[in-house]
Chains A and B, each alone.
Chain A
Amino acid sequence: MRYIALVLLACFGLSAQQSGIEGIAVDAVTRQPMAGVHITMGSASAVGFMGGGDADVYGAISRQDGRFSVTGLKPGIYFVEARHNGYLHLPPRDSTGSEDPTVTLKPGEPLKDYVVEMTPHAVIVGHVLDENGDPVEHVEVAAEAAAPGAARQSIGMAGGGRTDDRGAFRIVLPPGKFYVQARMNRGMGFAGGMMGGPEIRSDGLAPPVYGPTFYPSAASKDKAIAVELAPGQNATGIDIHLAQQRSLTIGGTVTGMPAGSPPGIPAFISITSLGENGTGSQSAFTGPDGKFTAAGLSAGKYQLRARYSVDGAELRSPAVEVQLGNANETGVTLPLVAGGTVSGTLEIEGKSKSTPAEKLAVRLESDSGGSVAAEVGEDGTFRVEKVFPDRLRLRVMPLPENAYVKSVKVGGAEATDGFVDLSHGVNGAAIAIAISRNGGRLEGKVVGEDGNPSTSPLALVFLADSGFAASGEDPDERSMKPVEAGEKFTYSGLRPGKYRLMVLDPRQLMGGRDNAEVLKALLAGAPEIEIHEGDRITKDAKITTVENPGAK
């Protein structure tokens, strides 16, 4: 949820009076002043992620006595960061126990004696080993807090690493209690070997398959041992012995290879693992008979797709899901088909006479990452080519002002949630899209708990429809808006339906907790609003306080 941190807006004081900050950097454990700490401050009204160009960054270096100063700052809210070898800057906690990495500078009132606490970082060093005690390289190792609030996260420090040629890893962390997990990188797998199958073995063994393993050798957290780190502690010998899993295979046939294709060119099969065992994909190739075997897989759910291209023509199969339990799966069929054409009409209801001739486009997106698009002609028809059977998300771009996609029908049946299911075939598919320009509009001001204009200069407004709460997606730019105090928030082009509206102070969301979960829970309890077509609703929204389980 770091993007929330970066998309804050601040309210600048109207007064021309300057402000500043003066203080001391100290070691959080010994309380001794620290020299050479590099302090940086940036205004909380960030301009995008890239950091290039616009945003002013102020800096200072603490002196021998630990003191530093920055003068000539405009009043407002600033992020404060600090760096020194061997230390982490953990944001101080405010009165409610939440971490707050910001300072508020008031006009004409520079901050004095501001303490920047530097915490000596801790390190976990260990190895990832296989069942013979041999090192395993290129394994991703990550540390996670053993319980909410069991560790304080610092924005920007990575909590993981990859093992090297000695199987060794080194993770820099704040003090706290952590589980350490080796995550097997499935993307490295070449499950099917070259041309036709996995290798043939006469010793009766299969190459081992490992699942994600917690220190010291646990497949799940309940058997894992948490590593407790004091500030500055080097925990060594944290060796993870990988837990072996049963090595399974998925086998089958790719059908539909065109007759007369040049021999020796195989179809390519991608095997993507779905679910908590990690995502990542492996690949396999067909043999001359169109058969394939993907080996070295652990139990879990997989999605298989086949692709074949020759002479510029491409054939693909729809995605097939396979659930591997404790036995091999055989007989999976992946039928290749050529890309087809989807035709359709797009109608804009309530079209006003003076509509600018804006070219609309219809786009079909697959969750394997590809997409195809076509422009909508003046007569409202469109033809999308090279569409392969799949479950596709339909988008209309750009949507005219205050418009929303009112209905999508495929062959007369209503498609739900913006997805068009063409997995059973594309040719002859006809899509009818109706766009309404009469979306709902919602605007309002942010108010505090007592109903008066909010005293907090920063606010994040969330508007989620009923589909969002069920989908488990993270909120994105479409549903979340940052708002400055005194400004209004507006939403337009809202699809009629029920929504939940909520406002949060973004500073309460930082601190590395699982914000997606917290947000979902809060949204479920937020006030509900019903929006009808053409509604123009004005509604002020109150800031919700976030309970902090880690508060001390």
Chain B
Amino acid sequence: MRSRAGLLAILLLAMPLAAQTDGGKPASVQGTVTDSVTGLPVPRAHVSLQGTSGGKPARYGATSGADGKFAFTGLTPGNYMAQADRVGFVRSPGVSPRDRTMVDVKADENKTGIEIKLTPTGAIIGRVVDSDGEPVEDASVSAQSGRGGGSGTTDEKGLFRIGGLAPGKYSVRASGRGDMFGGKPEIRTDGTTEVHNASTYYPGVTTQKEAAKVDVRAGGETSGIDIQLARVPFVRLGGRVIGLPGNAEDVSVMVSQGNGGWGTPLKSDGSFELWRLDPGKYTLSADWAAPNGEQVHTAGVEVEVAGSNIENIELRVVADSDIPGRLEFEDDEAKQIPREDGPGRFVQERMVTLEGVNESDFGDSAGSVAIDADGAFHLKKVPAGKYRVRVSWGTAYVKSMRLGSVAIDGPLLDLSKGSGGADLSILMGAANGSLSGTVQNVGGDAAAVTVVLTVDGERGLDRENQYVEPSADGTYSFDHLAPGNYLIVAVPEDDMAIQGNKVLGFEDQMESVKVGPKEKVTKDLKLRTRAVP
């Protein structure tokens, strides 16, 4: 699998190569753990050496003393990654190679002077008030950056603190208590009106795109991050579920956005209503338990909540599809299925997968099935929906498909109305393009840069995105690219928020690149800085 998994695969599985020859008298390693900001020793940090020795994985642990010093004895020779962790510091090993210390140990060697630097975490402090300026108690506040995040809750003065954050740029979002689960607006008879506050990003906007970034420094507290919740109108979503089987029980209508979702029970007349959704895009579907206990759900319908009610939404029940299919190959090169299609990534078996692709989806896949030696496969019980067709190896790509008599360009399969009993044939082409170059004005810290490659056009889903870190000399490369149009940009690693196929804040600085079959494209990039909003 490509995209983000690729980045993780490269970082986590780039374990050091196999060891020195065996024959070892035990070796030892000594060093100090220091605070990367103050230079002072860090006591009682947990230090570990992890790597391979004689072809086998090995892990050693120790604790740094009051003077920050640590010692390992009785080590077998090998190549190890040294890392440390302690509360109050960025969790090891961090995302980039600069946070890691590699130690190569030979038999009977006593290596000294190994320094492990730990970066202290920072915090964000602020206050949440509602649209009338009153402090909000028990509001949830979360901070997100490309590298992670944290959350906190406000006290009765509306004050919050989010600690344990790695240095970087964060978007900060606050939600009032009880806002997520919507009921009808309150009925008021005293002349007051109920106010509905949306989840709001610092300083007071409702979309992540407009959010101002909060800079967190190592070991520092960024204060004054005050957020005023935005008032939005109460919006009603109403509709019906059509075609429910008679034995469906406990039907609820699920609303989802990204990774979160909630539901409301379907009324006995088959209708539903939802209130209090914040502005944004959502997927709605109906969900129920079949008599054999399995959960069934309808295809998702996408809606966008702006300022007005949305009525007459129809959620149709479409029976699952049974899809026999076959893989075909454009040429001999496309037929090649490697045993290993990336450093440390093994292709275990040949499978085809359908991944759900509604923008604000549960992230469902219709499952994977094996492809037999003749290239045939059989997808069973595929729920109605929109899918991206994927195979389990990365050296070929889905060039086109045919569902019955309908030709489809690319890998997106729309089964929202079912497959109509048709067969699916998938034409695979060799993904043999590549794109490489040098990132300029990197300023010596190549490790703090990420090159982001996304697919241009309406097929630009975030799971197609690929990320690579340039080497120390600034060079980068992407291999096994399918022919097509791409967007590329080099951005600071700690300011990378992705939405679909765009890096937020850098949309206009992404450059187009076309890669043809078998083409090796060269493109040099400049490290971009964010356009200040």
B94 part of interface (Cβ distance < 8 Å):
no
Please tell me if the beta carbons of B188 and A59 are within 8 angstroms of each other in the complex: yes
Please tell me if the beta carbons of A47 and B189 are within 8 angstroms of each other in the complex: no
Partner of B46, one of A20, A123, A195, A207: A207
CB distance from A407 to the nearest CB of B (A): 22
Residues of B with C-beta under 8 A to A288: 56
Please tell me if the beta carbons of B192 and A53 are within 8 angstroms of each other in the complex: no
Bound-state CA distance A72–B189 (Å) is 8
Tell which of A48, A86, A201 has the most Cβ of chain B within 10 Å.
A201
Please tell me if the beta carbons of A52 and B264 are within 8 angstroms of each other in the complex: yes
Please tell me if the beta carbons of B293 and A363 are within 8 angstroms of each other in the complex: yes
Residues of B with C-beta under 8 A to A401: none
Bound-state CA distance A82–B87 (Å) is 39
B370 part of interface (Cβ distance < 8 Å):
yes
Please tell me if the beta carbons of A200 and B56 are within 8 angstroms of each other in the complex: no
Tell which of A61, A68, A197 has the most Cβ of chain B within 10 Å.
A61
Bound-state CA distance A371–B88 (Å) is 42
- Which of B267-275, B480-488, B497-505 interfaces with chain A? B267-275
Please tell me if the beta carbons of A373 and B46 are within 8 angstroms of each other in the complex: no
CB distance from B60 to the nearest CB of A (A): 5
Residues of B with C-beta under 8 A to A20: 189
Q: Known contacts A57-B184, A59-B186, A165-B87: does B293 contact A199 (CB below 8 Å)? A: no
Please tell me if the beta carbons of B292 and A54 are within 8 angstroms of each other in the complex: no
Please tell me if the beta carbons of A135 and B87 are within 8 angstroms of each other in the complex: yes
Q: Known contacts A48-B265, A59-B188: does B182 contact A202 (CB below 8 Å)? A: no
A514 part of interface (Cβ distance < 8 Å):
no
Residues of A with C-beta under 8 A to B156: 85-86, 121
Closest to B50 in A: A194
Name the interface residues of A427-453: CB closer than 8 Å to any CB of B. Answer: none
Name the interface residues of B122-138: CB closer than 8 Å to any CB of A. Answer: 123, 134-138
Name the interface residues of B143-165: CB closer than 8 Å to any CB of A. Answer: 152-153, 155-158, 161, 163-164
B213 part of interface (Cβ distance < 8 Å):
no
A51 part of interface (Cβ distance < 8 Å):
yes
CB distance from A160 to the nearest CB of B (A): 12
Please tell me if the beta carbons of B274 and A51 are within 8 angstroms of each other in the complex: no
A167 part of interface (Cβ distance < 8 Å):
yes
Bound-state CA distance A36–B274 (Å) is 28
Residues of A with C-beta under 8 A to B186: 40, 57-59
Please tell me if the beta carbons of A137 and B87 are within 8 angstroms of each other in the complex: yes
A413 part of interface (Cβ distance < 8 Å):
no
Residues of A with C-beta under 8 A to B161: 164
Please tell me if the beta carbons of A312 and B181 are within 8 angstroms of each other in the complex: no
Partner of B194, one of A59, A136, A161, A359: A59
B44 part of interface (Cβ distance < 8 Å):
yes
Please tell me if the beta carbons of A373 and B294 are within 8 angstroms of each other in the complex: yes
Bound-state CA distance A395–B189 (Å) is 51
Closest to B55 in A: A288
Residues of B with C-beta under 8 A to A311: 348-349
B360 part of interface (Cβ distance < 8 Å):
no
Please tell me if the beta carbons of B273 and A201 are within 8 angstroms of each other in the complex: no
Q: Known contacts A165-B163, A310-B348: does B121 contact A52 (CB below 8 Å)? A: no
Q: Known contacts A60-B190, A85-B137, A203-B62: does B87 contact A50 (CB below 8 Å)? A: no
Bound-state CA distance A47–B294 (Å) is 24
Q: Known contacts A167-B87, A194-B50, A361-B291: does B60 contact A56 (CB below 8 Å)? A: no
Please tell me if the beta carbons of A200 and B184 are within 8 angstroms of each other in the complex: no
Please tell me if the beta carbons of B187 and A199 are within 8 angstroms of each other in the complex: no
B343 part of interface (Cβ distance < 8 Å):
no
Bound-state CA distance A203–B14 (Å) is 29
Partner of B88, one of A61, A71, A135, A170: A135
Chain B 42-60 interface 0/1 with A at a Cβ cutoff of 8 Å (1 = within): 0010101010000011111
Please tell me if the beta carbons of A53 and B164 are within 8 angstroms of each other in the complex: no
A498 part of interface (Cβ distance < 8 Å):
no
Partner of B181, one of A51, A195, A361: A51
Residues of A with C-beta under 8 A to B247: 398
Closest to A120 in B: B156
Residues of B with C-beta under 8 A to A197: 59
Please tell me if the beta carbons of A50 and B252 are within 8 angstroms of each other in the complex: yes
CB distance from B265 to the nearest CB of A (A): 5
B243 part of interface (Cβ distance < 8 Å):
no
Chain A 17-52 interface 0/1 with B at a Cβ cutoff of 8 Å (1 = within): 000100000000000000010001000000110111
B61 part of interface (Cβ distance < 8 Å):
yes
Bound-state CA distance A298–B157 (Å) is 41
Chain A 126-146 interface 0/1 with B at a Cβ cutoff of 8 Å (1 = within): 000000101111000000000
Please tell me if the beta carbons of B58 and A200 are within 8 angstroms of each other in the complex: yes
Chain A-chain B contacts (Cβ-Cβ < 8 Å), number: 159
Partner of A312, one of B136, B157, B182, B349: B349
Please tell me if the beta carbons of A50 and B181 are within 8 angstroms of each other in the complex: yes
Q: Known contacts A199-B48, A200-B59, A311-B348: does B274 contact A52 (CB below 8 Å)? A: yes
Bound-state CA distance A172–B152 (Å) is 14
Residues of A with C-beta under 8 A to B56: 196, 288
A237 part of interface (Cβ distance < 8 Å):
no
Bound-state CA distance A510–B440 (Å) is 67
Closest to B177 in A: A83
Please tell me if the beta carbons of A199 and B59 are within 8 angstroms of each other in the complex: yes
Residues of A with C-beta under 8 A to B416: none
B63 part of interface (Cβ distance < 8 Å):
yes
Name the interface residues of B352-405: CB closer than 8 Å to any CB of A. Answer: 370
CB distance from A365 to the nearest CB of B (A): 9
Closest to A264 in B: B346
Name the interface residues of B237-285: CB closer than 8 Å to any CB of A. Answer: 247, 252, 262-265, 267, 272-275
Q: Known contacts A194-B57, A200-B59: does B292 contact A70 (CB below 8 Å)? A: no
Q: Known contacts A53-B273, A202-B60: does B183 contact A60 (CB below 8 Å)? A: no
B517 part of interface (Cβ distance < 8 Å):
no
Partner of B293, one of A47, A53, A202, A361: A361
Please tell me if the beta carbons of B348 and A262 are within 8 angstroms of each other in the complex: yes
Tell which of B59, B74, B274 has the most Cβ of chain A within 10 Å.
B59
CB distance from A393 to the nearest CB of B (A): 12
Name the interface residues of B169-197: CB closer than 8 Å to any CB of A. Answer: 181-184, 186-190, 192, 194
A397 part of interface (Cβ distance < 8 Å):
yes
Please tell me if the beta carbons of A47 and B265 are within 8 angstroms of each other in the complex: yes
Closest to A121 in B: B156
CB distance from B463 to the nearest CB of A (A): 22
Chain B 187-214 interface 0/1 with A at a Cβ cutoff of 8 Å (1 = within): 1111010100000000000000000000
Bound-state CA distance A441–B293 (Å) is 25
Please tell me if the beta carbons of A50 and B262 are within 8 angstroms of each other in the complex: yes
Residues of B with C-beta under 8 A to A53: 183-184, 264-265, 267, 272-275
Residues of A with C-beta under 8 A to B61: 199-201, 207
B73 part of interface (Cβ distance < 8 Å):
yes
Please tell me if the beta carbons of A165 and B267 are within 8 angstroms of each other in the complex: no
Bound-state CA distance A193–B87 (Å) is 19
A14 part of interface (Cβ distance < 8 Å):
no
CB distance from A248 to the nearest CB of B (A): 17
B329 part of interface (Cβ distance < 8 Å):
no
A253 part of interface (Cβ distance < 8 Å):
no
CB distance from A452 to the nearest CB of B (A): 34
Known contacts A52-B183, A58-B186, A172-B138; 18 further A-B pairs (Cβ under 8 A) = A50-B181, A50-B262, A50-B265, A51-B182, A52-B264, A55-B183, A58-B189, A61-B190, A70-B190, A85-B157, A164-B152, A195-B57, A199-B59, A202-B73, A361-B291, A373-B294, A375-B292, A397-B293
A–B complex contacts, Cβ < 8 Å, 26 sampled: A48-B265, A50-B181, A50-B252, A52-B273, A52-B274, A52-B275, A54-B267, A57-B187, A59-B192, A70-B189, A71-B189, A134-B86, A164-B152, A165-B164, A172-B138, A194-B50, A194-B57, A196-B57, A197-B59, A199-B48, A202-B74, A203-B63, A203-B71, A288-B56, A311-B348, A312-B349
Residue numbers of B with Cβ under 8 A of A are: 44, 46, 48, 50, 56-63, 71-74, 86-88, 121, 123, 134-138, 152-153, 155-158, 161, 163-164, 181-184, 186-190, 192, 194, 247, 252, 262-265, 267, 272-275, 291-294, 346, 348-349, 370
